[in-house]
């Protein structure tokens, strides 16, 4: 038992020395990614403003404000981040990534074309006759008994 414990301690020490990122590195990496997402949203927002697309601007503006708030939340923890702060930053990055995905949906087919590479189109085949369901059975109505002594 002692042999396995000593081996695991040695392996853990070697792993930490060989490249587990420190909390500061994890925190900084997450914050840098969040800031790059924020700048991309700002660029899209200014483009929507120039195109005078009010709906797109409102959608991206909302996402941009949420990412801005997340950035300010993390910058308040930046002085000397602990392991907990790094974990919080990584979770905030996950949330900001989902906000960015939602904002890209505001732009129409942007998300679909970025993954597929082609536009998605639909067509309805007019040669197929529509199926009209049969009329459902009338509901079964059960009347309650007229007297209270009828219950047994």
Convert the pLDDT of each residue in 61-93 to its tens digit. 999 999 999 888 888 776 777 888 888 888 999
pLDDT at 55: 86
Map tokens 């414990």 to a residue.
5
pLDDT value at position 50?
92
Do residues 33 and 55 lie in contact, with contact meaning Cβ atoms separated by under 8 Å?
no
Task: Select from 85, 87, 67, 64 the least CA-distant residue to 76.
Answer: 85
Tell me the pTM.
Answer: 0.57
Half-sphere exposure of 148 (CA within 13 A, CB side): 0
The residues near 97 (Cβ < 8 Å, ≥ 6 apart) are 37
- Identify whether the C-beta of residue 96 lies closer than 8 Å to the C-beta of residue 37: yes
Low-confidence ranges of the chain (pLDDT < 50): 1, 6-7, 11, 14-15, 109-113, 116
Average pLDDT, the chain: 76
């Amino acid at each position: 038992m002692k042999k396995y414990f000593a081996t695991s301690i040695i392996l853990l020490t070697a792993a930490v020395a060989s490249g587990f990122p420190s909390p500061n590195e994890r925190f900084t990496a997450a914050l840098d990614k969040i800031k790059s997402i924020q700048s991309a949203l700002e660029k899209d927002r200014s483009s929507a403003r120039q195109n005078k697309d009010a709906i797109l601007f409102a959608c991206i503006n909302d996402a941009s404000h949420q990412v801005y708030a997340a950035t300010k939340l993390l910058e308040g923890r930046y002085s000397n981040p602990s392991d907990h702060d790094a974990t919080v930053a990584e979770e905030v990055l996950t949330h900001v990534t989902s906000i960015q995905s939602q904002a890209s949906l505001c732009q129409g087919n942007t998300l679909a074309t970025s993954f597929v590479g082609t536009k998605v189109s639909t067509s309805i085949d007019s040669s197929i006759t529509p199926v009209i369901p049969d009329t459902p059975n009338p509901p079964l109505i059960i009347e309650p008994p007229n007297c209270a002594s009828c219950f047994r």
